[in-house]
Amino acid sequence: MALSLSLGSSWLHAQEPNSENPAPDQYAVSISAEVKVLFQELVAASLRDKSKILKQLDQHSGREMLPMFEAMLNGELYYQPDGLQLYQVKENASGNAVAYSVFGGELVDGLSIKKFKKVRVNNSLRKQLRNSIARIQLLYGEESERKAAAETMLSAMSDSAVALFQEAREKETVKEVQQLLDVGLAMNTVSTSVDSTERVAAIRALSSRLELPVKNLLMRLMDKNSDGEFKEADPLVRSAAESALKDIDGRIAYYGLLEKLFFGLSLGSVFLLAAIGLAITFGVMGVINMAHGEMIMLGAYTTYVVQLLMPNHLEWTILVAIPAAFLVSGSVGVLIERSVIRFLHGRPLETLLATFGISLILQQLVRTIFSPLNRQVSTPDWLSGSIELNPIFSLTYNRLSILIFSLIVFGLLMLVMKKTSLGLNVRAVSQNRDMARAMGIKTERVDSMTFGLGSGIAGVAGVALSQLTNVGPNLGQSYIIDSFMVVVFGGVGNLLGTLVGSFSLGVANKFLEPATGAVLANIIILVFIILFIQKRPKGLFPQKGRAAE
């Protein structure tokens, strides 16, 4: 495909290789004599002279110089001492250094990279390059690039930046970018205008903005000198700045509460996934399963193994790992129930000791197979990043996805318990095991399926946790106590209670942490639950009817 690069008066032009031009050099890029001279001067110039040359290249370019500026900023711009041609050198997927055409991006073969020399940069040049990149992106970039460039330039509103903002504002059509440009122009008005009315109006316009440069500007207006006098002489401007700062601080506090609530709900969703399986087994079978945390761990390791088996399809590994983790942890749960738990019905202390021993066996088995070291599970691109609602509040995709996923799992489990024969049998056994057996329900099979279902859901929780933390042999131990607290607090065997309890404890934990610290917050919540159970031994939503017996 032909590549045409225009720098003012067609400084660059790329031709598509054909039979008459079989070996394109710099790989299909033809450079005008004027630009070629600047390139030659750039690679050989001192750091001070490089700044002048970059200005010349920047002033006459559209987007064309952007690849070269970005390569130079990242320390990836190299040249051949013989031909003085520019290349971008970076690592490929195998970790080997390879050369690419700067402007076309094509891989360049047959060159000895060892003979290349790096185009040197220092912090001053990096700052200049960032400004040049921001200028190019602001005028010629996509919407996201223009927005990012405007946000970057707010921190340094020089005369040239103001002129650039004015130029960009005239042709900008996207409202969000327009608002950022207006913010920059208003900041310039506050800083440079001599008209008190204009400055006050600009400050009022800035009072609804949450960008950090805006707040820093307003705080500078309230600064005092060494004599204790305000540096800003105009009292009307100071009063407007003080009022605007109060508005901004109030909005920051509001979004801070929303952020705590989001992180609390995110933690609660993890508690829900970890505890919901335990609520089933504990409520139906009366088994204190201390190996429940290891079911979570097995689900996380299943995710790790799936990624090892699908290295070229990481985007799909999470979707494959969810059913795989359910099957692996569920199968192990059924095996534990058939080999150990079935012989200990009605003896909760013995089941506690037995499952604690099983948890130690599973931990050691994982250490033997995978080593005691933590394993890193990659996050797919579609779970990376965040939704930025404003400059101080954003929702990360991975936590938001886990929150939604936990509610989906809860909804599916409720359907299973309310609308299927398995759910009907589970409820019958939980209410009166002897009567259910007398009615022909195979209670042993129900116990196995219930234990497998609870363990499988724990494995799915491990998939979710693998996206938030490293995978290790002790992963499940971090959540077993929290799971029991959620189940007891919500009401043993009550799924709705588990939902309410998990989110309540998660939100309470995140609101306490800033004031008390993470450890003390957990202690306070534990003490609260102990006192709560003294008052309501059966939890928030106790079982009713025969199930209460």
DSSP 7: S
Give the chain's end-to-end CA distance (angstroms, integer). Answer: 77
Residue 135 burial by CB count (10 A; 0-12/13-18/19+): exposed, middle or buried? Answer: buried
The pLDDT, as a whole number, for residue 203 is: 93
Query: Which three-class secondary structure string do you get for 43-95?
Result: HHCCHHHHHHHHHHHHHCCCCCCHHHHHHHHCCCEEECCCCCCEEEEEECCCC
How does pLDDT run across 86-108, given as a tens digit for each residue? 788 887 666 677 888 777 777 77
Q: Would you say 480 and 358 are in contact if contact means Cβ atoms under 8 Å apart?
A: no
Host H or E run for residue 498: helix 495-516
Domain regions of the chain by residue span: 12-124, 152-233, 254-382+402-548
Q: What is the DSSP string of 96-134?
A: -EEEEETTT--EE-S--GGG-EE----HHHHHHHHHHHH
Burial class (CB in 10 A: 0-12, 13-18, 19+), 265: buried
Q: Tell me, what's the pLDDT at 83?
A: 62
Question: Which residues of the chain register pLDDT less than 70?
Answer: 1-36, 60-62, 83-84, 92-95, 110, 283-284, 493, 542-549
Q: Write b or e for each residue in 185-194: b if 16 or more Cβ atoms lie within 10 A of its Cβ, otherwise e.
A: bbbbbbeeee
Domain 254-382+402-548 carries which CATH code? 1.10.3470
457-516, pLDDT tens digit by residue? 999 999 998 888 889 898 888 888 888 888 888 887 678 888 999 999 999 999 998 888
Positive or negative, the Cα torsion across 292, 297, 300, 305?
A: negative
How remote is the C-alpha of 153 from its chain's centroid? 25
DSSP reduced 3-state for 299: helix
- pTM (2 d.p.): 0.76
